[in-house]
Structure 1
């Protein structure tokens, strides 16, 4: 209980030095690896983002983890994410294996019940998404798609220049 507010000046100095070095190491690695590392486009992108934050926090606050070990762990996570992203871009089969396809949950004003059940989403949640997008009537909506990252895309009537484009790779659950 005695170390609840302050351990020692040595501990603070260590945290300060490790924080600066780990932070700049992470920024450098992220710049080298590219924008995709933190994009959260797919499930594994989100996992890597959370894991990077957790690893950085552990490096900063745990005296049991050396800076070299933490930096190596960060580099390994970024490398694995880079390899997965590269493999998913080069192989559609691999991409389908590691991430889900977008799902149509509302089409031409009709809720697709099987899709809602499969994705564990309620009609009220879709209505909330529509309200947040400023949609006043479901009749004005061509489609609502649950993207592979869990976000919703609302396609309104008349907003498509090419009728296939936004919905071309969307999976209908009832098919």
Structure 2
């Protein structure tokens, strides 16, 4: 994996550099994404309404109190967006294109006040058959709450540049 977070711009001047190129992705290796992210009611309501998800379980406290959960449950799109977003600076900052997400599973509810953490395992990589300066990488990400309970997992496939071909 990449072990240098800075690029030399000129003598004594460095630029932060995030993301990885094809050669940095080693199948089996794992990246822990930090810091964590505590979910607020604002995150949940704004994102739920932005996505037109008006299910009362996500935005109506009185309704939610009468369900088996007993309180508002954070929308799965909020959970997905935040956990996926936590991976961007490492996993896809240099990505040419997202090719898709697969096997998305919501394994436990997320509540306002929960803090989420993410971890990504490199599943596979292969050179692109049609783009010789790029490769296709698949990763598996798991989001966990503050109690280390997995709340979401998914696979993501991205197209990434090879060393020297990044933009």
Task: Give TM-score scaled by structure 1 length.
Answer: 0.28
More strand by share: 2
Task: Give TM-score scaled by structure 2 length.
Answer: 0.29
Q: Which protein is bigger by CA-based radius of gyration?
A: 1
